[in-house]
Chain A
Amino acid sequence: MLEATELECTRGERRLFRDLSLRVDAGQCLYVAGANGAGKTSLLRILAGLLLPQSGAVRWRGRDIARAREEFGSDLAFVGHLNGIKDELTALENVRFAAALRGADASEAAAMGALARMHLADYCDVFARHLSQGQKRRLALTRVCVADPPVLWILDEPYNALDAAAVESLQALLDAHLAAGGMVVLTAHQQVAMPSGAHRLELNPGHGQAAGRGES
């Protein structure tokens, strides 16, 4: 279970939100909505442990994530605004490295299976620098589903640059992950169907407080 309590986030002089609490249980999806600058990315980075909140805490399985970095990291797949892939490596090498880094099955078969799920199998030997933006985004998302995927997925604008087929693939991937008891926290500007039963958390820019609470 991912739980955040009374989070406050300030960037520069501007308070993005305060007293924000949320909880995501197994099989649940939290959709963080809001206009540009509302603090969606900051919230996701706080939940991933990349950004410290001004106050409040994030707990994973009851433990503060700042005190259980390795345990939390091994259960987490994070895709941020940046794809986190190396242009000088092929698609297959990128996926195999991601799996090896997690200590998961980094075999070619496992990586190819994950690439096939995002329709990138034909591009396995292509250097990432030669892929289109949409294909690079798909490659970044392939990382989350390679060999024994982590239980918690935090995805910042995962639908960016994806075509209709890739959006469908990602939706199917999210549904399957949630059905298997996984958890998803995501943001999206595109008008796409969220997984059924997804909870919505609306952040309001400039109000300094979240309009809704994500607890479920």
Chain B
Amino acid sequence: MIAPLLAVVRRDLLLALRQRGDVLNVLLFFVVVVTMVPLGVGPELPILRMIGAGSVWVAALLASIVSLQRVFAQDHLDGSLEQLLLSGQPASVVVIGKVLAHWLVTGAPIALAAIPIAVLFDLDTDAAATLVAALVLGTPALSLIGAVGAALTLGLRGGGVLVTLLVLPLTVPVLIFGSAAVQASAAAMSAGADLLLLGGLSLAAAALAPWAIAAALRISLE
């Protein structure tokens, strides 16, 4: 079961490498959105420190949704999705492989890009480290929840808007705990509880989402 999962991850990473423009666009989108905030709000450092974490999380959420269209749409268009679901492997294994690859090319780079972004919002070292940790722990939940929406709207006209409407409300807890962790750290308080909750959300999503995604994909293929 591990070998087919790794095969899916390897294939999707290779495809991302050969379509690196798509991946870079998502990262660029994240950076552009988050850098617009200081330009719009102004250079007041106390305000930037206060809104920094929330702005980064909102940008990460939007970037994640923008990239969700890629997860299953291309496989659906070229018939690869049928082959993945008829491969004899549990559909949940295939789905986990695809979501893991999606996180590696969106969530992980966003977490890394947050390091220089933290400087933009005048976050201190502890708060910046917490921001990166929170993104590492929380973005898997964004990929998993988002993939459910992407699978449900696969092949639908206006699916992109529907994904946004479906996914955004479900990701509110990730947004709240992700921002709260950084704000706690900036206030010299422990961010442990918020980070644990973020990890818990990602684990819960990892336990439940693959089955929902697999069922949604089967429905979409009919």
Contacts and interface: CB of A to CB of B under 8 A. Distances in A.
Given A50-B82, A86-B11, A89-B14, A101 B89 contact: yes
A93 interface: yes
A127 to B, nearest CB: 9
A69 interface: yes
Given A101-B8, A106-B7, A88 B86 contact: no
Interface in A71-108: 71-76, 78, 80-89, 93, 97-98, 100-103, 106
B82 A78 contact: yes
B80 interface: yes
B11 A75 contact: no
B83 A88 contact: no
Interface of A: 48-52, 69-76, 78, 80-89, 93, 97-98, 100-103, 106, 143, 150
Given A72-B88, A93-B11, A102-B88, 12 more contacts: A48-B86, A50-B85, A50-B221, A51-B221, A51-B222, A70-B90, A73-B85, A78-B82, A82-B79, A84-B83, A101-B94, A150-B88
A89 B15 contact: yes
Interface of B: 3-4, 7-8, 11, 14-15, 18-19, 77-80, 82-91, 94, 221-222
A80 B221 CA distance: 12
Contacts of A74: 87-88
A200 B141 CA distance: 51
Most-contacted residue by chain A among B4, B8, B82 (CB, 10 A): B82
Contacts of B222: 50-52
Contacts of B90: 69-70
B91 A69 contact: yes
